[in-house]
A and B are shown apart, each in its own frame.
Chain A
Amino acid sequence: EVQLLESGGDLVQPGGSLRLSCSASGFTFISYAMTWVRQAPGKGLEWVSTISGSGSSTYYADSVKGRFTISRDNSKNTLYLQLNSLRSEDTAVYYCAPYDRSMSYWGQGTLVTVSS
């Protein structure tokens, strides 16, 4: 059974930093690209970032480029998202998902709130 467990969400002040984690199990982690998608309160889905299985290729939404960094540790089956220079508009639930041109499985998400 595929399981994805996001963690690391918290209340942080504007300009602050946070690191999100996504622990994966039930599939061959290194074989899949991984993606972060976020959802602001009451809003739709927004793609944030994707990383290849090896970690050699990364892709970012313009809204987070230069502020967020995606990475993975294949020895730990864990995906990360480093969030820097946080803004109020980054407030959202952040989901991780394996990516194979669709997003077959989703975690429950972790809430990031940016507020003073």
Chain B
Amino acid sequence: DIVMTQTPLSSPVTLGQPASISCRSSQSLVQSDGNTYLSWLQQRPGQPPRLLIYKISNRFSGVPDRFSGSGAGTDFTLKISRVEAEDVGVYYCMQAKQFPLTFGGGTKVEIK
């Protein structure tokens, strides 16, 4: 199974300041078709998860451009350029290269 490791566990951020979350996979996520199936999900308190980013860096419909994804191979990053109050929640990375699909343990973004 591919293990997804996220850091940090928690990220206290000042409103308007940037935030960065790292995700590392235990093996390369590059698929034979050339795509890398790494997604980022946001889960606000009391809400279901919501897709933010797919295939490393593609923002899903309706996702603000302050969210960006980058990386390659086994190392990936989600950045929030300027944190807003509505960004509070837990963020997960997820790999879909192979079954079983696996998620990172989550990073809690909170306001200082």
Interface residues of B (CB under 8 A from A): 35, 37, 39, 41, 43, 48-51, 54-55, 60, 90, 92, 94, 96, 99-106
Contact = CB atoms under 8 A, between A and B. Distances in A.
Interface in A80-116: 95, 99, 101-109
Interface in A14-70: 35, 37, 44-47, 50, 59, 61-62
B106 A44 contact: yes
A102 B48 contact: no
Contacts of B90: 44
Given A95-B49, A109-B48, A103 B103 contact: no
A59 to B, nearest CB: 5
Contacts of A59: 99-100
Interface of B is mostly: loop
A55 B55 CA distance: 25
A107 B47 CA distance: 10
A47 B51 contact: no
Interface of A: 35, 37, 44-47, 50, 59, 61-62, 95, 99, 101-109
Contacts of A108: 48
- 9 closest A-B pairs by beta carbon, nearest first, are A102-B54, A47-B101, A106-B48, A101-B96, A102-B39, A45-B103, A101-B37, A59-B99, A44-B106
Chain A binding site: helix, strand, loop or mixed by DSSP?
loop
Contact of B101 (A35, A107, A109): A35
Contact of A61 (B39, B51, B54, B100): B100
Contact of A47 (B43, B50, B54, B102): B102
Contact of A104 (B60, B92, B103, B106): B60
